[in-house]
Structure 1
Amino acid sequence: MRAHHPAKSAWLIEKHGTRRRRAWRKLHIGVDADTGQVLASELTSNDVDDGSQVEPLLDQIPGPLTSVIGDGAYDQTGIYSAVATRHPDADVIIPPRSTAVLSEDVETTPTQRDRHLQSIAEHGRIGWQNTSGYTRRALVESAISRFKRVIGNALRSRTDQRRKTEVAIAAHALNRMLELGCPKSVRIA
Structure 2
Amino acid sequence: MPFKANADRRHHIPAQRHRVKNWSEYDAGLRARGSLTVWFSEEAIEGWRAAPRSTWGGQPCYSDLAITTALTLRTVFRLPLRQAEGLIGSILQLLGLDLAVPDHSTLSRRAETLEVLRPKASSEPLHLLVDSTGLKLCGPGEWRVEKHGSKRRRGWRKLHLATDADTGRIVAAVLTGKDADDGSQAGSLLDQIEGSVASFTGDGAYDRDDVYAEVTSRHSEAAVVVPPRANAVPSEAAETAPTQRDCRLQCIAKRGRLGWQRASGYNDCALVEADISRWKRVIGDGLRSQTDGRQATEVAIAAGVLNRMLDLERPEYVRVA
TM-score with structure 1 setting the length: 0.87
CA distance in structure 2 between the aligned counterparts of 1:140 and 1:47, rounded to whole angstroms = 21
CA distance in structure 1 between the aligned counterparts of 2:180 and 2:203, rounded to whole angstroms = 16
**Cα shift at 1:144:** 1.3
Task: Verify: 1:109 aligned to 2:241, yes or no.
Answer: yes
Does the residue aligned with 1:36 lie in a helix, a strand or coil?
A: coil
Task: Verify: 1:173 aligned to 2:310, yes or no.
Answer: no
Task: Verify: 1:71 aligned to 2:203, yes or no.
Answer: yes
CA distance in structure 1 between the aligned counterparts of 2:320 and 2:179, rounded to whole angstroms = 44
Deviations 1:85-143 (A, max 9, x none): 11111110000001100011111211110000011111111111111110111111111
CA distance in structure 1 between the aligned counterparts of 2:271 and 2:164, rounded to whole angstroms = 9
* 2:251 equivalent in structure 1: 119
Task: Verify: 1:41 aligned to 2:151, yes or no.
Answer: no
Q: What is the root-mean-square deviation of aligned Cα atoms in Å? A: 1.2
The higher relative CO (CA closer than 8 Å, separation ≥ 6) is in 2
Pairing partner for 2:229 from 71, 83, 97: 97
Letter in 2 for 1:23: G
* 2:155 equivalent in structure 1: 23
Letter in 2 for 1:135: N
**Cα shift at 1:22:** 3.2
Pairing partner for 1:156 from 288, 301, 312: 288
CA distance in structure 2 between the aligned counterparts of 1:148 and 1:136, rounded to whole angstroms = 20
Which stretches in structure 2 are left out of the alignment for 5+ residues?
1-150
Letter in 1 for 2:285: N
Letter in 2 for 1:172: G
Pairing partner for 1:87 from 219, 228, 231: 219
Larger Rg: 2
CA distance in structure 1 between the aligned counterparts of 2:244 and 2:152, rounded to whole angstroms = 42
CA distance in structure 1 between the aligned counterparts of 2:161 and 2:203, rounded to whole angstroms = 13
CA distance in structure 1 between the aligned counterparts of 2:164 and 2:285, rounded to whole angstroms = 21
* 2:318 equivalent in structure 1: 186
Deviations 1:27-62 (A, max 9, x none): 001100111100001001111121110001000011
Does the residue aligned with 1:174 lie in a helix, a strand or coil?
A: helix
CA distance in structure 2 between the aligned counterparts of 1:31 and 1:98, rounded to whole angstroms = 26
Q: How many residues align?
A: 171
CA distance in structure 1 between the aligned counterparts of 2:203 and 2:280, rounded to whole angstroms = 19
Does the residue aligned with 1:43 lie in a helix, a strand or coil?
A: strand
CA distance in structure 2 between the aligned counterparts of 1:121 and 1:46, rounded to whole angstroms = 35
CA distance in structure 1 between the aligned counterparts of 2:162 and 2:282, rounded to whole angstroms = 18
Task: Give runs of ≥4 in structure 1 deviating > 6 Å.
Answer: none
Does the residue aligned with 1:30 lie in a helix, a strand or coil?
A: strand
Question: Is the Cα–Cα contact under 8 Å of residues 65 and 87 in structure 1 kept in the other structure?
Answer: yes
Percent of aligned positions with the same letter in both sequences? 60
CA distance in structure 1 between the aligned counterparts of 2:157 and 2:261, rounded to whole angstroms = 30
TM-score with structure 2 setting the length: 0.52
* 1:13 equivalent in structure 2: none
Letter in 2 for 1:138: A
CA distance in structure 2 between the aligned counterparts of 1:151 and 1:29, rounded to whole angstroms = 14
CA distance in structure 1 between the aligned counterparts of 2:271 and 2:213, rounded to whole angstroms = 25
* 1:128 equivalent in structure 2: 260
